[in-house]
Amino acid sequence: MDSLHESLQTLPMSFFLIIISSLCFLGLISRLRRRSPYPPGPKGFPLIGNMHMMDQLTHRGLAKLARQYGGLFHMRMGFLHMVAVSSPEVARQVLQVQDNIFSNRPANVAISYLTYDRADMAFAHYGPFWRQMRKLCVVKLFSRKRAESWDSVRDEVDSMVKTVGANTGKPVNVGELIFTLTMNITYRAAFGAKNEGQDEFIKILQEFSKLFGAFNISDFIPWLGWIDPQGLTARLVKARKALDKFIDHIIDDHIQKTKSE
């Protein structure tokens, strides 16, 4: 929320005038439109809906709203309609009975752009593409034969154990050790090398993580995307180009090593 307040403070006055005039116009239109039958929930303002309550949407805040509106309640964040589930009966319907309908993960503007419109297994819609991705991962990446060839994984685990043993009687940051272990295993398993551009790759992933979770006004009010008051578009383009360049470099290195061998 601090980043949101800082972004709002840097916006020009003309931007707020556009927002106010749009509020009046859309508020008038919303009165003329027929309302959809959504579950009960807290009332929101025109255009922004319940965005003023974003700082209250913690697990405790959602539990408080559930006690007031029931185990299934509706909220509107800008132009997005959201439904919160907190009762076991409704959760069973969503997670078990109707899981094929609710299995798709939502993706904001940053996720859609950085993953080439969900061209990955994490955010891809459930369907033929996702099943093919899962098949490739099971057969090529997580197979028993592939796992047995990961001597580097054992090396990284041995290295972490030796680090812990060398610091007997001293405080050890377990979280940092686990993060380093996971980072080294993932990098060596994916690219077959260690410390060759690893710092650069971590910086790219950190920027991806920041962009995935950054507040973007166009996620909630799409027609404000062309204004881009937070300057996220330039960061998205730069981050994706950096990852593409890095992966292209890794692929070229593998091709050269194959030719030389």
CA distances from 81 to 22, 37, 50, 94, 210 (A): 19, 12, 10, 17, 24
Beta bridge partners of 77: 49, 80
- Residue among 222, 203, 221, 232 at smallest CA distance from 3: 232
> What pLDDT shows up at residue 7?
52
Beta bridge partners of 72: 85
The CB-side HSE value for 29 (13 A sphere, CA atoms) comes to 8
> What pLDDT shows up at residue 237?
93
> What pLDDT shows up at residue 4?
46
CB 164 within 8 A of CB 172: yes
> What pLDDT shows up at residue 9?
53
Residue 100 amino acid letter: N
> What pLDDT shows up at residue 195?
60
Instruction: Count the residues in the chain.
Output: 261
Please give the chain's pLDDT, 261 residues, in tens: 455 455 545 555 555 556 666 656 556 555 545 556 888 988 888 878 888 888 888 889 889 999 999 889 999 988 888 899 988 988 898 888 888 888 888 888 888 899 998 888 888 888 899 899 888 888 877 766 665 556 677 888 888 888 888 888 888 888 888 888 888 877 777 776 666 677 888 888 889 988 988 888 888 888 777 777 778 888 999 999 999 999 898 888 888 888 887
Q: Which two tokens stand for residue 83?
A: 């439904």
> What pLDDT shows up at residue 244?
93
CB 194 within 8 A of CB 188: yes
- 24-54 burial, b at 16+ Cβ within 10 Å, e below that, comes to eebeeeeeeeeeeeeeebeebeebbbbbeee
The span from the CA of 216 to the CA of 33, in Å, is: 27
The 8 Å CB, 24+ separation contacts for 235-241 are 235/207, 235/211, 236/109, 236/110, 236/113, 236/114, 236/211, 239/114, 239/204, 239/207, 239/208, 239/211, 240/113, 240/114
